[in-house]
Structures are given as structure tokens and as C-alpha cells.
Amino acid sequence: MDATVVAVASDGDEGDDRRHLLETGSEILPYPESPWRPQPPGADAKPEQQKPQRVASLDVFRGLTVAMMILVDDAGGAWPGINHAPWFGVTVADFVMPAFLFIIGVSAALVFKKTPNKIATSKKAACRAIKLFILGVILQGGYIHGRHKLTYGIDLDHIRWLGVLQRIAIGYFLAAISEIWLVNNTSVDSPVSFVKKYFVEWIMAIVISALYIGLVFGLYVPNWEFKVQTSSSTFSNPTNDIGFKTIQCGLRGSLGPPCNAVGFVDRVLLGESHLYKNPVYKRTKECSINSPDYGPLPPNAPNWCLAPFDPEGLLSTLMAAVSCFVGLHFGHVLIHCKTHSQRMMSWLLASTVLTVSGFLLQLLGMPFSKPLYTVSYMLLAGGVSGFLLLLLYCIVDVIHIKKPLILFQWLGMNALIVYVLAACELFPTFIQGFYWRSPENNLVDATESLLQAIFHSKRWGTLAFVLVEIIFWCLAACFLHMKGIYLKL
């Protein structure tokens, strides 16, 4: 007989392995018998002491974020309007990564609210972060070539050390360690005691932000050069030559693509060969005649258009970790505020302050930029994530309108496995490995081509294909949920 499943969102016991990063299946506690069955004679039936119900809006938030990531990754090329901003500014796609980090912070607040053994809990958090980081290097370091290139393998001289999963691992680790070691034992019974309990975490987030600002505006960025591979071929002697191009900088405080301190730190500490080779600024007007989409270089394009840049670099990842701290605050509100109205008013206030602060910083000269993960961008994205959580919480957990969002709830319960298989293209690449006579004759490409023919449009057909893909993964997550299967790290 299948075990009855009861889900909770506020039990922070780290004594078992039921909670894990990026997925909330570990928050589901299986009981050998249903807690709702009649109690035997003489047993103390105390329904008021039952485990609290799961905060379903957290699953919906996580699932919606995964769905948006699949949408912008797979349909962004056909629809540049939903793709990432080329450098400055924000689009829908630019809120996805901060939303991941935000919800990780919320989950960390729930998981680590009870840490009787800080050393053991820290070891578990470090182990999870390391495993996630290694998984990111394997999936996003260049070893897996993806859907459109059915090969694998990477020269270790060119492996990419950082990426989305690595950024999530670092943000999670910093948030977890701060939650374990920086939170005091003050009992919360008023706003003042709430501040006393968590103010050291807030100070840490402010220190990280100040360090980022100091480095971005204070580091001197010298002139630098990078390698460029040029192909020249004749009928008798095809060659691939390696040349060098020089970028003229010699300044401080630049936020443009060629001379910013974020890229400078990565080139010094990671090395040019380990950076991302197809940066988003190749879609700027200076670098693409099809801007805001990728395209051929325009006449007299600057040299930096061909230079590497890692959008998940070291300095930007340090700033991105603050998004997890923002999520921690929202998780603390969820824990200590006992009524819907208290939680919603606190979240509304925090989201408003974050959003307004982001716009104020932009007016003061720090533009929104996801590749640099500027402080203004972090604040804006944190505010938008807070508003989204507030909206979903109101719809799902207060008004109890769940059925229209059930697909995203299933997706959120197995967010990590869906991200790995879908967003990292492991599953479509596997399917494409089976083809008829030619690699182009596979089920994935055939389905996309069929939809493009039905809609008489490559753009609309691609969008329909991606929506079908998202629904497929929602149903796959539903199947895993029904079987009680959750990917754990």
C-alpha cells in the first residue's frame, strides 16, 4: 500500500535528508499510515497538532521559474523580445536567474531555522553546494555540447568553471552558512526582536554589496588582449590561425562591455580561455546588424565584440549571492508572521523598498545590468521576485485557487531534475541521438518542424514547440510526484 504523504514548509529539522537544494520533494514527509485514519481506542487524538500544510505557493513559484527558464532559453532566439537584454536594461528573461536565487534563500530560511548541531549542518550544506557545483561544471563547462551538436568532450584548457548551477551553489552556501552561524537565539515576539535576530545577516549582505561597489568602481582596468581564431582556406591549404586583438582601457569605473572590473577579475583569476565564448553583448548594436538578436558584425565593429566574457563570473556571482539573502528575509517573515495579512503586508513593504531602491540607484548612475549583476539590478529583481511571491501566495495559499497553477506546482516539486534534463538539454540531446539515416531526422527536430509548418511561421512554431515542451515536463514532474520520486543532492 502506498504511503500517505503529508507536506510541510516550516519544519527546519536538519537531522535527516528530506530537504535538498532547488527541489522541495525533500519537504514531503511520508507516513507509513495515514494521519487521518481513526485512532485506536485510548490514543490521544490531537488534530490541532498535525504537521502544518505545505506552502504551495513556493512550489508554484519554483515551477514557474523553471518554466520561464525553458521558455527564454529555447524560444529567446526566435523571439528576441523575451531574450536577455544585450547589456543594459532588463527583460522578462533577466528576472529568471534572480528568482532562482531568491527562492533558494526562502527555502534556506525554512530548512535552517533549527540547527542544533551547527558543525554537522554546515558540513551538509557544504557537501550539497560542492555536489551542485560539480554538476554545473559537468553540464555547463563545455563537456555536454547540447542539442544542436551531438558530440561531447572538452579540452581542459578551455573548460568553463562557472555557470548557472555553480552560481546557485555559491549563493546557497553563503546563505546557508550565514543562517547557521550569524542568526542569534533571540526569540521573536515583536518587530524589534525580529531585527535583533537577523540584523547580522543584513549587515553581511550590505558588506558584500559595498565590496562589490568598491571593486567595480575602484579597480583600475588596464589595456588587455585576447586570442582570436581566424580561418583562411584555399583549395590546397586550409589553415586556422590564432591572432591577438587589443582592447584599450586604462580607466576605472566603466560599466561597458570592454573595460568593466567584473570581466577584469575573471580574466586575472580564471583566465581568458575559461570564460564564456558567446557573451550577450554580441547582440548589441555595436556587435550585431540584427540587434537585439545575434547577427554578423557591422562595419567597423569594435574589437571587444569578439572577446569572451562570463555572465556568471566571480564578482557578479558574489553580488548575486545577495539575492539569496533577500530570499532569506522573506523566508523569515514566513516563519515568524503567523497570519496571512502579516506576511503579505511585510512582503509588500519589503518588495516596494527593494524596487524603489533599485530605480533610485539607476537614477544615481548605476544602470540595470544582468551580466554585471549591478546592485540596482539585484534590488529591482529582488523586489519583483517579492511581488511575484506575494501574488502567488495570495492566489494559492490565501484564496486557495490552485487548480489553474497545478502544472507549475508539480514542476516546482522536482525543479532540479527538470532543469538538468530540460534547460541543460540532456533529454532532448538523448532523444536526438536516435535518428533515421541522418541526424536531422529525429523526433525533436521533426516535432519542431511540424509545428512550424502548421503555424506557417518559424517564430510561432518554435514558441508552440517550447510550450509543448514545458507541458511535457510538467506532466513528467506530475508522474514523478505521484510515484514519490524527488531528485536529491
> pLDDT tens-digit profile of 277-311?
889 999 999 999 988 888 899 988 898 999 999 99
CB 98 within 8 A of CB 162: no
d(CA 462, CA 474): 18
**439-473 burial code (b ≥16 CB/10 A, e <16):** eeebebbebbeebbeeeeeeeebbbbbbbebbeeb
Count of domains observed in the chain = 1
- What is the per-residue pLDDT across 58-69, written as a single tens digit (0 to 9) for each? 999 999 999 999
For residue 14, is pLDDT > 50? Answer: no
User: Which residues share a beta bridge with 241?
Assistant: 230
Instruction: Name the more confident of 461 and 80.
Output: 461
For residue 147, is pLDDT > 80? Answer: no
For residue 195, is pLDDT > 80? Answer: yes
Residue 164: other Cβ atoms inside 10 A: 19
For residue 245, is pLDDT > 70? Answer: yes
Give a yes or no: residue 103 inside a domain. yes
Mean pLDDT of 40-54: 48
For residue 185, is pLDDT > 90? Answer: no
* Grid cell of 21 as nine digits: 537544494
Looking at residue 328, its amino acid is L
Residue 55 banded pLDDT, cuts 50, 70, 90: confident
Give a yes or no: residue 173 inside a domain. yes
d(CA 278, CA 5): 45
Q: By three-state DSSP, how is residue 5 classified?
A: strand
- What is the per-residue pLDDT across 407-418, written as a single tens digit (0 to 9) for each? 999 999 999 889
- What is the per-residue pLDDT across 436-486, written as a single tens digit (0 to 9) for each? 877 778 888 888 889 989 999 888 999 999 999 999 999 999 999 998 888
For residue 202, is pLDDT > 80? Answer: yes
Give a yes or no: residue 42 inside a domain. no
User: What is the residue whose three cell numbers read 529525429?
Assistant: 442
Instruction: Name the more confident of 137 and 82.
Output: 137
User: What is the residue whose three cell numbers read 539575492?
Assistant: 323
Give a yes or no: residue 305 inside a domain. no
pLDDT of residue 76: 81
Beta strands in 304-384 (DSSP E): none
pLDDT of residue 241: 60
Instruction: Name the more confident of 398 and 436.
Output: 398
Q: By three-state DSSP, how is residue 276 classified?
A: coil
pLDDT of residue 53: 63
For residue 46, is pLDDT > 50? Answer: no
Give a yes or no: residue 294 inside a domain. no
Counting residues of the chain whose pLDDT is more than 70, the rounded percentage is 86
What is the CB-side half-sphere exposure of residue 375 using CA atoms within 13 A? 21
- What is the per-residue pLDDT across 260-275, written as a single tens digit (0 to 9) for each? 999 999 999 999 989 9
Counting residues of the chain whose pLDDT is more than 90, the rounded percentage is 59
CB 303 within 8 A of CB 247: yes
How far, rounded to the nearest angstrom, does the alpha carbon of residue 281 sit from its chain's CA centroid?
20
* Grid cell of 205 as nine digits: 549582505
Give a yes or no: residue 156 inside a domain. yes
Q: Which structural domain, as residue segments, surrounds residue 64?
A: 56-218+314-482
Residue 155 banded pLDDT, cuts 50, 70, 90: confident
N-terminal to C-terminal alpha carbon distance within the chain = 27
Give a yes or no: residue 257 inside a domain. no
d(CA 65, CA 70): 9
CA-based nearest residue to 473, from 74, 112, 148, 93: 74
Instruction: Write the CA distances from 410 to 159, 213, 335, 454, integer angstroms.
Output: 34, 39, 23, 30
pLDDT of residue 235: 44
- Looking at 364-442, list the stretches that DSSP marks H as alpha helix, in order from N- to C-terminal side: 375-392, 406-413, 415-418, 426-432
d(CA 53, CA 56): 8
CB 201 within 8 A of CB 183: yes
CB 49 within 8 A of CB 28: no
Question: CB within 8 A of 337, min separation 6: which ones?
Answer: 343, 346
Residue 121 banded pLDDT, cuts 50, 70, 90: very high
Residue 212 banded pLDDT, cuts 50, 70, 90: very high
Give a yes or no: residue 451 inside a domain. yes
CA-based nearest residue to 34, from 1, 81, 58, 61: 1
pLDDT of residue 231: 52
pLDDT of residue 140: 86
For residue 56, is pLDDT > 60? Answer: yes
Q: What is the average pLDDT value for the chain, to the nearest integer?
A: 84
Question: pTM for this structure?
Answer: 0.86
pLDDT of residue 52: 54
For residue 240, is pLDDT > 90? Answer: no
DSSP 8-state code for residue 283: G
